[in-house]
A and B are shown apart, each in its own frame.
Chain A
């Protein structure tokens, strides 16, 4: 081609469209196999969504009415107001309970999961069967929500924050066990080999080879779970296991929207403060790690 001006890529491509199509037939097919599959999957997903909306009784009238109600509630929520002074004290006491539940639950759960983590890790377990079995037990515990544990503990030890502590404790054993065992499996083997080569037994290998490497990682997990448990323990009161959740659900049921907004704000602020502190601590831990 002896064009007067240089062609842009786009113009050159347009001029040779037929040639391009002949050389790369796959790119020019309207519906490729991959695209057909993508369309099929999306259609199925949308169909399932539509079926779900129908089956779960979504109707435009109900949605519109509900949102109307919500807007009304939000209007009543402003300004957030705890009402009387005695109620404020009750709310703050609930918050203290929530924090205590989260702290104790996390601590106890970590203490129980610590040995389980070693049992469930491939490199420190007694044998393959014990490792497999501990993994499955941890998985089953994890499959049950903290709220269910709370209900069970309430029916065992009665209403109150004590049941909450036990619920957070049992619910987290599964998560901690899994996280701990993964940290142990990721630990450097060379330190253990060093200890064993100087005549140390299996326990000494774990104590001096594995433990120093995994402790900071575990501490990070514990802090992270404490953050997460602050959220969980703020709601387990809904089933009577202590903390601020009891107050919150009561206020929602009695339609005291100003108090509800106050409690939710209080929870949000507390969670944010705890997240910040624990985030700082975790960053410090990660920095200290290679000691």
Chain B
């Protein structure tokens, strides 16, 4: 029981991680895939922030009367990972837009017959 409560952030991480990964694999819609990827990455942000927490400690600001501080490094690291996540999402969405413009669809099952290697090359249609 105490594991369930005490490790709550980690349970949340596992659930988010599996949800995200499942969406990435199971969804055929490219935008939904990116949403899944986003959830997957957010789970890692939560994981990092959770490992920086020290029980009963204060935020890492030096002041008299407090001598136990949380670890700020994981939070700093994850700032970088958040930026990376946003950039990935931006590039992914931009690609999804261009795929919609060229192929007229962002559903994987409709894209599959249009992208088989046997087809002759066709330049992208730019509006």
**Chains A and B come from one and the same complex:** no
Residues of A with Cβ closer than 8 Å to B? none
